[in-house]
Amino acid sequence: EAPRVLRPGGRLGMVGNVMDVEVDWVRELDALIEAGRRPGGRAPEPGPFPGFGPVEHASFAHVHRMTPEDVVALAGSISRIIVLPEHERARVLDDIRTLLAGHPDTAGRESFDLPYRADAYRAQLGG
């Protein structure tokens, strides 16, 4: 559909926001959240797109200031966690609480920065 609605030379842009798993405790958090995901469940980088030039990519780091319970609530709002049986969902959320209470970067803190990365992609029609 994109080639049909874009004018010649127009650009298609996409942005994805992901936790920055280059940070140790965030990688552990992500592993707890992702445990229920099917193998290969993460989306690949977009492209190539027929009729478009090469896909350009840029990443931008940013943070969200959160309390431990904010992080638990965030995890609890993710669809793959929501659909778990109650006992499994409770276990995952308790495991996240345990991680945050025990990791040196988060333990004993009222709040901390949850690092994210915004991945931006664009490709030019006819490019």
CB under 8 Å to 4, separation ≥6 — which residues? Answer: none
pLDDT beyond 80 at 37? no
What is the largest distance, in Å, between two alpha-carbon atoms of the chain?
55
How many angstroms separate the CA atoms of 42 and 34, rounded? 9
H helices of 8-107, in order, are 24-34, 68-76, 79-82, 86-102
13 forms bridges with which residues in the sheet?
Answer: 122
pLDDT band of residue 36 (cuts 50, 70, 90) is low
pLDDT band of residue 92 (cuts 50, 70, 90) is very high
Q: pLDDT, tens digit, for every residue of 56-79?
A: 999 999 999 999 999 999 999 999
Average predicted confidence (pLDDT) for the chain = 92
pTM of the model: 0.80
pLDDT band of residue 47 (cuts 50, 70, 90) is confident
pLDDT band of residue 2 (cuts 50, 70, 90) is confident
How many angstroms separate the CA atoms of 101 and 107, rounded? 4
Q: Could you give the angle at which helices 68-76 and 24-34 cross, rounded to 10 degrees? A: 30
